[in-house]
Structure 1
Amino acid sequence: MSKKVIALIVLGMFVLALGLAGCGGQTKQPAAQAKVLRVGSDTAFAPFEFQDEKSKEYVGFDMDLIKAIGKQMGYEVQIQSLNFDGLIPALEAGNIDAVISAMTITDERKQKVNFSSPYYKSGLTMVVKNSNDTIKSFKDLEGKNIAVQIGTTGADEAKKIKNAKVREFNTAPEAIMELKAGGVDAVINDMPVNEYYLAQGGNKDAKTVGDRLTSEDYGIATSKKNAELNEKINKAIDELKKNGEYEKIYVKWFGKKPQ
């Protein structure tokens, strides 16, 4: 065999080796991971957040809104169900990125968290049993037994009522159950929640009385350490209001257009 043939064989083997090495080195690039927005919510506050009995999914006005906000921002939203009084501590500890839970914007809360621009206007009303004709206004609650949800503005207002005995519960449904059982004279809670409860059949046992006690704005809470996220959420809310998606979600859950 001539030197020329040997050289050609060696060259061919070298080229083949390079080709195989090249094939082996072509690794598939991993897909970019979706950005995740960890959102805390007290998921027992219909119609804003509650668990669907059939699908077991968290549904409601807040749930639809935060998913739309996440989509607008390019984030995958993951909901974590927490008790209402544990939401801000979880946010401060960094366990979640944001809170949407029909949370009223207050000066006290603003000392701990940042709030988005308001996305819903609410207020406090009271519910009593249908057979109760003595309580007609908030003044009539003096000296009465009142059920509230712990950590809420309803609890704060109830504690201002003279000689009232205030009982705090972890969830709004628990407070309502105590009223049905006759353990309290009234429940103070957010107006849309009271209205939704009555519309879903609660009017068989209870009714709302008196005028709305307060006017409150709900906001999405974020950590004071993450001002950028707050700005992104505000921008997304503005865009959803402009493109009609916010109104669509509002009508779905409240049967009317936002004021």
Structure 2
Amino acid sequence: MLKKFLIAAAAAMTCAGSALALPVLNVGTQPVFQPFEFVDGRTKQLVGYDIDLIRAAAKHMGYEIKFAPMGLDGLIPAVMTGNIDLITSGLTITPERQKKIDFTRPVYHSSQVLLVNKSDAHAIRSEKDLRNKTVCVEIASAGAELARTIPGAKLKTFNSLADDILEMQNRGCVAVISDKPAIEYYLKQRGTRSMVEVQTGFPKEEIAFAVRKGNKKLLDQLNRTLLQMEKSGETAKIYKKWFGN
């Protein structure tokens, strides 16, 4: 009798544990894009604006998150094939990407700017001055797409903004094209005065999360949750943490 009771109790606990388990949301990210997603050098934890935002959204939605680090060029193929459910990687909404994936409502409004060595600032005042010159960009980035529109520009592609900047410092290219907040965060953290930011005439852009095309259920969940977070002020608090006022 006792044996039967213990077996029944164990089965009940297993069922209870299963009932309490949260569904997993597999999130792809490129963890080298400060301040959106990166590994904190001190704690070795994945942090950033996008990371805080998706963690908060997942909590509201009742999901557990499992992050899948990968290169930027691997994210869209991964979500298209179902290897991940969601992209959280400072991803700019572009017409070309919209053919392949569905974006959520924007989570950040940005623009692409140039970073140049201070000694070159007199000669490079906008993207027009990059004609027939070598430019550094991240692989598969919005900056890379825009760089291809510059007549005669030669592109050097790297896996991270830090690699782009190192190549520029070594005179392997005359400028880096990247998102304004990423450039400014890099300069602020390094405290360097040997490089300067240059504004461009590139169009304003929107950054968002992305899901597999046609995954309306997850897309609608995310959009509802992100809107609620905006209205409650939760998003503003996360924004202030990473970008200030």
Sort the TM-score into its range (normalised by shorter chain): over 0.9
Counterpart amino acid of 1:151?
A
> Offset at 1:71?
0.5
What TM-score does the superposition give when structure 2 sets the normalisation length?
Answer: 0.93
> Offset at 1:144?
1.2
Aligned counterpart, 2:140? 151
> Offset at 1:21?
5.3
* Bigger-Rg structure (1/2): 1
Q: 1:41 to 1:20 in 2, by over 3 A?
A: closer
Query: Residues 1-259 of structure 1 correspond to what in structure 2 (within 5 A)?
Result: 19-20=1-2, 22-28=4-10, 29-30=13-14, 31-32=17-18, 33-132=21-120, 133-201=122-190, 203-211=192-200, 213-256=202-245
Q: 1:210 to 1:23 in 2, by over 3 A?
A: closer
Counterpart amino acid of 1:118?
P
Task: Give 4+ residue runs of structure 1 displaced > 4 Å after superposition.
Answer: none
Q: 1:212 to 1:62 in 2, by over 3 A?
A: farther
Over residues 130-158 of structure 1, what are the superposed CA-to-partner deviations in whole Å (9 max), with x where a residue is unaligned? 11121111111111110000111111111
Over residues 64-97 of structure 1, what are the superposed CA-to-partner deviations in whole Å (9 max), with x where a residue is unaligned? 0010111110111111111001000011111111
- State the alpha-carbon separation in 2 of the partners of residues 168 and 25 from structure 1: 60
Over residues 9-30 of structure 1, what are the superposed CA-to-partner deviations in whole Å (9 max), with x where a residue is unaligned? xxxxxxxxxx435424423322
Counterpart amino acid of 2:142?
T
Identity of aligned residues (%): 39
What TM-score does the superposition give when structure 1 sets the normalisation length?
Answer: 0.88
Aligned-residue CA RMSD in angstroms? 1.3
Over residues 84-139 of structure 1, what are the superposed CA-to-partner deviations in whole Å (9 max), with x where a residue is unaligned? 01000011111111001111111211111111111110110000001112111111
Q: 1:26 to 1:160 in 2, by over 3 A?
A: same
Structure 2 residue runs of 5 or longer lacking an equivalent are none
**Aligned residue pairs, count:** 238
Structure 1 residue runs of 5 or longer lacking an equivalent are 1-18
- State the alpha-carbon separation in 1 of the partners of residues 6 and 189 from structure 2: 63
1:123/1:212 contact within 8 Å kept: no
Q: 1:64 to 1:163 in 2, by over 3 A?
A: same
Counterpart amino acid of 1:167?
K
- State the alpha-carbon separation in 2 of the partners of residues 127 and 58 from structure 1: 26
Worse-matched range after superposition: 19-28 or 160-169:
19-28
2:126/2:201 contact within 8 Å kept: no
> Offset at 1:213?
1.9
1:158/1:164 contact within 8 Å kept: yes
Q: 1:77 to 1:212 in 2, by over 3 A?
A: farther
